[in-house]
Chains A and B, each alone.
Chain A
Amino acid sequence: DTAVSQTPKYLVTQMGNDKSIKCEQNLGHDTMYWYKQDSKKFLKIMFSYNNKELIINETVPNRFSPKSPDKAHLNLHINSLELGDSAVYFCASSQLATSTDTQYFGPGTRLTVL
């Protein structure tokens, strides 16, 4: 009965490959997010969806493409992986699409690009 789950937990791949990370939340929330956490623990928002509609699209290479098939799922597809994409990627959700609402985070996916 995990609230926000992500798969896989670890992902090791070669440069140039394409990979996807999946996220699901069972909290009934309307809003979901993708964050990137670098090696210095800095947390950067990448995307956010509210009821399957994109509401935050930060300055992220267009190799990154989010997809929200329904409001309980938000997946992240990354094309042509680069060394600099190595990081921990966190999915999160909140009930409201406002910055004042509490966010619930998944356990993270550690991506290593070799």
Chain B
Amino acid sequence: AQSVTQLGSHVSVSEGALVLLRCNYSSSVPPYLFWYVQYPNQGLQLLLKYTTGATLVKGINGFEAEFKKSETSFHLTKPSAHMSDAAEYFCAVSDEGFKTIFGAGTRLFVKA
């Protein structure tokens, strides 16, 4: 069965610093992988998505993620954090049927 583990329920960075949010997955089939972002009091929106092909995926707002099959990882990065990046981030993996499996989320805090 597919699963997602996000390491660290909270991550705090200074404005301008590198953002690194960790995600490891388990899948018995070639996975589709997602990062969604949830700003306060809003619904989730897609940041980026890996399907097949290029393993480095670029998303919105300067975020990118790299699919590493050997490490079963899909970590999210951004070179320079901005205050507006403060939000909850969810990693997700497709299952073999209809369901998308979401991780528990990582809250990103950005300090001025």
- Chain A residues within 8 Å of B, Cβ to Cβ: 4, 40-43, 45, 48, 50, 55-56, 90, 92, 97-100, 102-108
Contacts and interface: CB of A to CB of B under 8 A. Distances in A.
A106 B98 CA distance: 19
B22 interface: no
Contacts of A48: 98-99
Nearest to B105: A41
Q: For this complex, into which size category does the number of interface residues on chain B fall?
A: 20 to 34
B94 A106 contact: no
A92 to B, nearest CB: 8
Contacts, number: 59
Given A90-B43, A106-B43, A98 B104 contact: no
A99 B33 CA distance: 10
Interface string B72-112: 00000000000000001010001111111110110100000
Contacts of B107: 41
Contacts of A55: 98
B12 interface: no
17 contacts: A41-B104, A43-B44, A43-B102, A43-B105, A45-B99, A45-B100, A97-B98, A98-B94, A99-B32, A99-B96, A102-B34, A102-B49, A103-B44, A105-B44, A106-B43, A107-B41, A108-B41
